[in-house]
Amino acid sequence: MKPLKIVVIGGGSSYTPELVEGIILHRTTLPVKELILVDVLMGEEKVNIITDLAKRMFINAEMNVDVSYTLNRREALNGADFVLTQLRVGGLDARRKDERIPLQYGVIGQETTGPGGFAKAIRTIPVMLEICRDMENICPDAWLINFTNPSGIVTEAIHKYSKVKCIGLCNVPINMHYDAAERLGVNPKDLYCEFTGLNHLSFMTHAYYNGADRLPEILGIDVEEGIVENINKIEEMDIIANQLGFMLSPYLQYFYFEKSMIQEELENLHSAKGTRSDEVLEVEKGLFELYKNTELNIKPEALSKRGGARYSEAAISLINSIYNDSNELHVVNVINHGTIPELPQDSAVEVNCIINKQGATPIHIGSLPTTIRGLVEQVKMYETLTIKAAVTGDRTTALLALLNNPLIHDVMDAKNILNDLLDAHKDLLDNFYKDKMGRK
Amino acid sequence: MKPLKIVVIGGGSSYTPELVEGIILHRTTLPVKELILVDVLMGEEKVNIITDLAKRMFINAEMNVDVSYTLNRREALNGADFVLTQLRVGGLDARRKDERIPLQYGVIGQETTGPGGFAKAIRTIPVMLEICRDMENICPDAWLINFTNPSGIVTEAIHKYSKVKCIGLCNVPINMHYDAAERLGVNPKDLYCEFTGLNHLSFMTHAYYNGADRLPEILGIDVEEGIVENINKIEEMDIIANQLGFMLSPYLQYFYFEKSMIQEELENLHSAKGTRSDEVLEVEKGLFELYKNTELNIKPEALSKRGGARYSEAAISLINSIYNDSNELHVVNVINHGTIPELPQDSAVEVNCIINKQGATPIHIGSLPTTIRGLVEQVKMYETLTIKAAVTGDRTTALLALLNNPLIHDVMDAKNILNDLLDAHKDLLDNFYKDKMGRK
Amino acid sequence: MKPLKIVVIGGGSSYTPELVEGIILHRTTLPVKELILVDVLMGEEKVNIITDLAKRMFINAEMNVDVSYTLNRREALNGADFVLTQLRVGGLDARRKDERIPLQYGVIGQETTGPGGFAKAIRTIPVMLEICRDMENICPDAWLINFTNPSGIVTEAIHKYSKVKCIGLCNVPINMHYDAAERLGVNPKDLYCEFTGLNHLSFMTHAYYNGADRLPEILGIDVEEGIVENINKIEEMDIIANQLGFMLSPYLQYFYFEKSMIQEELENLHSAKGTRSDEVLEVEKGLFELYKNTELNIKPEALSKRGGARYSEAAISLINSIYNDSNELHVVNVINHGTIPELPQDSAVEVNCIINKQGATPIHIGSLPTTIRGLVEQVKMYETLTIKAAVTGDRTTALLALLNNPLIHDVMDAKNILNDLLDAHKDLLDNFYKDKMGRK
Amino acid sequence: MKPLKIVVIGGGSSYTPELVEGIILHRTTLPVKELILVDVLMGEEKVNIITDLAKRMFINAEMNVDVSYTLNRREALNGADFVLTQLRVGGLDARRKDERIPLQYGVIGQETTGPGGFAKAIRTIPVMLEICRDMENICPDAWLINFTNPSGIVTEAIHKYSKVKCIGLCNVPINMHYDAAERLGVNPKDLYCEFTGLNHLSFMTHAYYNGADRLPEILGIDVEEGIVENINKIEEMDIIANQLGFMLSPYLQYFYFEKSMIQEELENLHSAKGTRSDEVLEVEKGLFELYKNTELNIKPEALSKRGGARYSEAAISLINSIYNDSNELHVVNVINHGTIPELPQDSAVEVNCIINKQGATPIHIGSLPTTIRGLVEQVKMYETLTIKAAVTGDRTTALLALLNNPLIHDVMDAKNILNDLLDAHKDLLDNFYKDKMGRK
């Protein structure tokens, strides 16, 4: 077996120990020889801590993996087999603005949906396309496994503007899968869950166990826990899921319970709690304190609370299935090409795929059910326009993108929020601030 | 030429003098012999007044048309060539509830869009299907020209559940056409305007004059008046129309300026003004005072303020084009059959059609532009589910219909409003209150 | 009214007096000021004769139209409003080869279908694209009305490789329309015939008279004459038309009665009759003898036997409808854009269109019936590949084009016929004989 | 593991020892407890021989499987888990007529394509639907694995007219897969071949090895053997495969080399060789002589020449993948549902599928390439009409079906062949010979 080189861009993320654990768990089938963590100057302290932890984890596992970090991305990409992107342009500080600016206008402030997701997308897409330019030159045969949010939009942008082989990943589907299995009291491996929709807008439409679709039973179960973790509107989501007949991505609570989610967000904002980024900041601080501990040589339990549960399982088993050409089924973000006929051919969808050395081939999904088709199409139009805005820096396109977001209900809000976001992230939005000659 | 019998269901409407004027204006090509106005008991006084006015108008025009009214619909339909429906189930009182109930939850209260339009639809569809049952038996070759709102939804329901030949009509497109011509300073007859979308959700995408598309110029004109009359958000609509590149139906202000429209509605509600139905009630009172005047023998000028401007032109010239097999182009509501490929085959769309004895055949419209496709598809899914709810009386379907309406943002609002509407209109919603055996 | 300049490329054709008559008949609505006939050196004698005849015809009609001819196409195009193309690359001599070469292999030898039509297409497309290059430079606003066969393929090639505004024309649909009217004993103006399919592969699917589809009756009529003139297999075509439920283009006899048509062609070939080009040669000789007669100042009756019946009506009334923006319905060749959803978006179809200053907009046709869909799709794939072959000069593409033609049944035939055709027309097929640098 | 009962209808077929061997080879994962061979009276002798051989094979393999035969199908179906159909309505005698009748008119005479395949389809579909009626009543949860030809058409008919869970199977794709692997010199397990098209009209469009598409290399290999065995036109097929860029089903030689195939068939017919059924008759005789030998307790080598190579591998590993829910990829006949968007939603296609307890789910295939789309669509229309004809017994539909078959080129041939076939198989075509009351 050819030994592998894996490069992680945004390697200083607190999630990285998840990945390291995944590599350790797949050691018998995935011969990783080198792991390089890439980060930017302002993240050097963190990536240094992570690198040391990773070394200790591999030593503890008695594996011989070269771990190092670098601030020089192009150097790291040389000879890469897999590139994982988990970067956050502007860090938690930018996220904080994405959450707070919309809330000032009474609009959902969230990292990946609504205007916050839009801001994250237009900041992230140009950076991701730069990485792709480097990969096209330096390691054109390497696979890009993108975990950077908004994962679907980023994947679509890469497919539209680059030749890099890219699969978009999110841990929501795998968590929904495990949750369904748990509710039914069966082994997740024995359950076949079918998904349709988009990243952070996904629906489980079937859950076959032993040849029979058990989803109605799963949805009917009366539980305290809600269908997936991290849902605020637990009970309500269960009820609406039952009426739709589909298991719902937790992010759908922003669409189906927008009004009460805004109320909750506003209450938190005006309390000590703040927004989600404030919370994450605290969690991260605690995690890095743990990571610094030179006694620590395994993934700490506390990491699972960070929101990246089963990220390693999703990412490393995906890499494993590519590397070993094993035709496993994974739910990932790929280009539609007609598997959902109502969506544009060239748009990203989050669906069941066969994974092998050629990459991800969707099984045929077919038409969206009437009850969710409108929402999915509306969001896809928003995504399409967002990508166009990010690449062109055109403000009218950006406005029309926001106007197509179902969480914005008034042109005036769209305009004000757009202006504030473009202003707040001015340094990170070159495309919107260059002159007609393309100069900043 | 075969003399024609026209039946108007809801003949006591204040709009009827418009129709009478239209018949008079088309006298050379449209040989109307008999006009029967049908209404229900509670509208007898009004229909009586209208019948007398119509008689005077025809006498004044020196036309020999038999005008009468009846409360017996089936009798009236006998021998009918054209049946016009302009009824309002539950009258202005029901409309008043449709406007006020949603506003209690901070949701748009409007006659044809949002939950108000939903309530009107589920009240109206069963009544329209009863009329169709009668027509199928009594006058199966007659044309049904439907003006009853929500016109697109009603037309789709009729095509799905009846064999009656039906064309849905609305005066918005013709008014947008005249407005575009006025802005350009040209004769409306020389302008070719292309429309796409749905009833009360229509977009003018091109306006050809002398072979060139002059829409950009029309949209760019800086006017005080706004693109079409009856728009509250005049200036803002002009600006967003310009950015989209399409002329907009005035009803789109509820979608593009929802927040400020709700504010305005709430202000009016809490002022002496009340809601639109209160206004209409006043206008109607005044109109019927005028109509009673036995000196009056023409359509009074005041009628044009009622909101039905150019209704006669739209309706009677449509009938004229069918009767004379003249292949004229009209913008009407017909079944899609693929002319807009993104929408379901069996759904109603409001597009340019050739009108002749076979009815309305759409010209090929093609794909919806990215910037409006999401909204149109979302509303169409709402419409599809609304029709299903109206016919089955199923409350889950009704809830999912409302959840698909882009003017509702929370399952809790949907539930509360649905409950209140079903309760308020209990007497008019047999389908929702019958038992499992189909008994009330 | 702006006076018009019309340019006819291939003006020396024996059809031109048809056009002149058409101009005369439309004199009240179509103010033609200048008519220029363009031809090539080898056609100068003919075009001279035609020019003189045209002059006499206009004088006789007391019209003041400047008629002239030129061999300088670019000069003629200056200021043109309408350009009509009726050229034949290689003349009747090339046609003769197109008919005879396939017959050597027992394959249909015909001008516009089968391998003969293929040869005509690959000769004609590059010349038509040169004309388009000139028009783009010299008269970019002029309309190109293409009558040159294969008219559908040529129209598609122009739309794919040029910006010229082009409508493809054929006199088959108008003749089918007149034939249907005659059979029904009604005025053609009162009959509405709906067509679907491709040029020379068209089907009349409905024939509405007074609102009712009378096509079944038309097809059921037992006549000696057959459905349209110029059908060899008259009775048989009537029977199969009846079973399909559609009126058939006469060219469909080559597909539905291929075996007996080949037999007939072979018998003629080996008799004094020869192939159709031999016949045409004789007819043309006779026509030009007539045309030379300086006494002749009207279109001679004999012309109608040439195969161009109602060409003037089709062409000049089309021009008239464009010029006068009159929204008339004509059956022409336009780009599909989804009006027939099973065919590629960018392919030419022959369907009912509204004609006005913007050009030809198809009414929505919808799905092809199961019984003809396979044939139409098969031929469209042949056409698509033929255009690609003509433009690239690629021999593999040419072979695959022929292999997709339903009149060829064996790769060996395809290869042999292709080789012979490329060889026979070597001087007229630069694209196939240039080197890799694009040099001949 | 639940022990399995397998029923084989047409169990007296000479192929059955293949199946028995397959069961033996999968013994560790597929616990077969009972194998019942069903046949009709005229096949009793054969099925008796086969039953005895099967018993000896299981004993030799030291497996405890109950083997028996019966002429009572309904009894056999009781408790069945898998039903395999490999029956031949009318036996080799009917096949002989299917081959010879078309040849009288110079048309391809072949078992599954052309008019021979049509005759086999209309004989077989009603019988298969009767089996389905029994299964719906007796073993509604059992899987029907159909190997009876024309396998795609039969599968489509079952899906259209029955609720039985059915997967259509053919050994052509697996043989093409093995052939591709052999040419490349790799293990078939390491090659991922993608297919599109229909049964006996399939195309391998990609062959991935180690992540790279090696199909061009496979097609380019200059071999004596041809791409798959049993191809008469070996060299020619290689060349045309190369030009198309796809590996071709051997049955495509009838379409691409029709003329020379007819010549060859006619030569054979007029020689001692006869048609393929004559050959098969001889082979079968020899096989049953071998089977009778009570010393024989393994599958004899000679069987592989019969044409069913790798049938057991295809069938039993398919059953194995269903039973063990193992998500393996197989190329089978399933309902399209949009995986090939150009074909009707409800038609059968032969494509790569994931196989598990829910059955066969196609991976998303996408649009047919231009070079083969016409042929595939033409044949699919033929298939659609054939099924309709088989079920209704309507002669016009039958004629239109034949007219849509690309191997028939003249209505006259279609008529004559249809008449002869209906006449020859009168006793086996009740649907065509019943009166209007449905009585024979």
Give the per-residue pLDDT at C244: 94
H or E element that contains C351: strand C348-356
Neighbours of chain A (3+ CB pairs under 8 A): B, D
The ipTM value here is 0.94
Going by the DSSP 8-state scheme, the letter that residue D363 receives in this structure is: B
- What mean pLDDT is reported for chain B? 93
Chain B: residue whose CA lies nearest to C364: B364
Q: How far apart are CA C398 and CA C387, in angstroms?
A: 9
Residue C62's contacts (CB-CB under 8 Å, 6 or more residues apart) are none
Contacts of B243 in chain A (CB under 8 A): 396, 399-400
Q: How many CB atoms lie within 10 A of CB A224?
A: 7
Catalytic residue among C15, C178, C209, C251: C251
| All residues at 6 or more sequence positions from D51 whose CB lies less than 8 Å from its CB, including other chains | D11, D37, D67, D68, D69
pLDDT band at B239 (very low <50, low <70, confident <90, very high): confident
Contact with chain A for residue B403, Cβ under 8 A: yes
HSE value, Cβ hemisphere, 13 Å, CA-based, for D185: 2
Cβ <8 Å between C259 and D413: yes
- Which residues in C lie closer than 8 A to residue D259 (C-beta atoms)? 409-410, 412-413
Question: Which residues in D lie closer than 8 A to residue A213 (C-beta atoms)?
Answer: 358
d(CA D55, CA D58): 5
Question: Averaged over B218-226, what is the pLDDT?
Answer: 62
With contacts defined as CB-CB under 8 Å, which chain A residues touch D319?
Answer: none
Structure-token pair, residue C161: 């490789």
Q: Is A251 a catalytic residue?
A: yes
The number of helices, as runs of H, and strands, as runs of E, in chain B is 17, 13
**The pLDDT of residue A224:** 46
Q: Tell me the three state secondary structure of residue A178.
A: helix
**How many CB pairs below 8 A link A and B?**
97
Residues of D in contact with C256 (CB under 8 A): 403, 410-411
Q: Which residue has the tokens 């049964």?
A: D199
Tokens of B405: 């309406």
Alpha helix stretches (DSSP H) within D70-150: 73-77, 91-104, 114-138
Facing B362 at nearest CB: one of C192, C211, C363: C363
pLDDT tens for C396-433 read 999 999 999 999 999 999 999 999 999 999 999 999 99
Which residues, including other chains, have CB under 8 Å from residue D403's CB and lie 6 or more apart? C240, C256, C371, D411, D414
Q: How many interface pairs between C and D have CB atoms less than 8 angstroms apart?
A: 96
Which chain A residue has its CA at the smallest distance from B244's CA? Answer: A400
Nearest-by-Cβ selection for B341 from C327, C341, C358: C341
Q: What is the pLDDT along chain A (440 residues), one digit of tens a residue?
A: 678 999 999 999 999 999 999 999 999 999 999 999 999 999 999 999 999 999 999 999 999 999 999 999 999 999 999 999 999 999 999 999 999 999 999 999 999 999 999 999 999 999 999 999 999 999 999 999 999 999 999 999 999 999 999 999 999 999 999 999 999 999 999 999 999 999 999 999 999 999 999 999 999 855 444 444 455 666 778 889 989 999 999 999 999 999 999 999 999 999 989 999 998 899 899 999 999 999 999 988 888 767 667 888 889 999 999 999 999 999 999 999 999 999 999 999 999 999 999 999 999 999 999 999 999 999 999 999 999 999 999 999 999 999 999 999 999 999 999 999 999 999 999 999 986 666 65
* Inter-chain residue contact C240 with D403, CB threshold 8 Å: yes
pLDDT over threshold 50, residue D269? yes
What is the dihedral sign for C-alpha B219, B225, B231, B235? positive
Nearest CA in chain A to B259: A410
Peptide bond into C150 cis (omega under 30): yes
Name the residue of chain C whose CA is nearest to B210's CA.
C357
Q: For the purposes of burial, counting CB atoms within 10 Å of the CB of C137, is it exposed (0-12), middle (13-18) or buried (19 or more)?
A: exposed
Sequence-distant (6+) residues with CB within 8 A of B436 are none
Q: Which of B251, B254, B291, B382 is catalytic?
A: B251
Q: CB-based contact (8 Å) between D379 and chain C?
A: yes
Nearest Cα neighbor of B157 from B122, B111, B198 is: B122
Instruction: Please report which helix (H) or strand (E) contains residue C183, including its range.
Output: helix C172-184
Q: Give the span between the Cα atoms of C81 and C144, in whole angstroms.
A: 9
Q: What are the chain D neighbours of A211 within 8 Å (beta carbons)?
A: 325, 356-358
- Topology adopted by domain A90-104+169-274+307-431: L-2-Hydroxyisocaproate Dehydrogenase; Chain A, domain 2 (3.90.110)
- What's D4-169+278-314's CATH class? alpha beta
Chains A and D touch (3+ CB pairs under 8 A): yes
- The Cα–Cα gap between D202 and D249 comes to 5
Amino acid at A399: L
Identified catalytic residue from A251, A254, A291, A311? A251
Q: Tell me the shortest Cα–Cα distance from C368 to chain D, in angstroms.
A: 11
* Residue type, position A273, single letter: K
Interface contact B190, partner C, CB < 8 A: yes
Q: Which residues pair with A197 in a beta bridge?
A: A202
**How far is the C-alpha of D217 from the C-alpha of D223, rounded, in Å?**
12
Q: Distance (Å, rounded) from C-alpha A348 to C-alpha A367?
A: 15
CA atoms within 13 A on the CB side of B434: 13
Lowest mean pLDDT segment, chosen from A12-26, B7-21, B233-247, D412-426: B233-247
Query: Smallest Cα–Cα separation from B2: which of B23, B36, B32?
Result: B32
Domain positions in chain C are 4-168+278-296
Element of type H or E holding B331: strand B328-335
Closest CA to A383 of A423, A429, A340, A346: A346
Each residue's pLDDT tens digit, B249-276: 999 999 999 999 999 999 999 998 999 9
In DSSP terms, which residues pair with B332 in a beta bridge?
A: B351
CATH number belonging to domain B4-168: 3.40.50.720
Between CA C315 and CA C22 the distance in angstroms is: 8
What are the beta bridge partners of residue B8?
Answer: B37, B84
D109-165 pLDDT, tens digit per residue, is 999 999 999 999 999 999 999 999 999 999 999 999 999 999 999 999 999 999 999
Answer whether C203 touches D (CB < 8 Å).
no
What per-residue confidence (pLDDT) applies to D224?
A: 46
Residue B123: both structure tokens together: 């009240």
C95 is in an annotated binding site: yes
Q: Answer whether C192 sits within 8 Å of B358, measured CB to CB.
A: yes
Is A in contact with B (3 or more beta carbon pairs below 8 Å)? yes
Helices (H), D293-348: 311-323
Cβ neighbours, 10 Å, residue B71: 13
Closest to B406 in 3D by CA, of B251, B238, B231, B212: B251
Query: Which residues touch B49 (CB under 8 Å, ≥6 apart)?
Result: B12, B288, B291, B292
Q: Provide the token pair at B347.
A: 């759904």
User: Which chain B residues touch A256 with a CB distance below 8 Å?
Assistant: 403, 410-411
Average pLDDT over residues D316-326: 96
Q: Is C270 annotated as a binding residue?
A: no
Whether the CB-CB separation of A393 and A422 falls below 8 Å is answered with no
Cβ within 8 Å, pair B325-C356: no
Per residue in A159-193, pLDDT tens? 999 999 999 999 999 999 999 999 999 999 999 99
Question: Distance between CA atoms of C413 and C102, rounded to whole angstroms?
Answer: 8
Q: Does C342 touch chain B (CB under 8 A)?
A: no
| Class (C level, CATH) for C4-168+278-296 | alpha beta
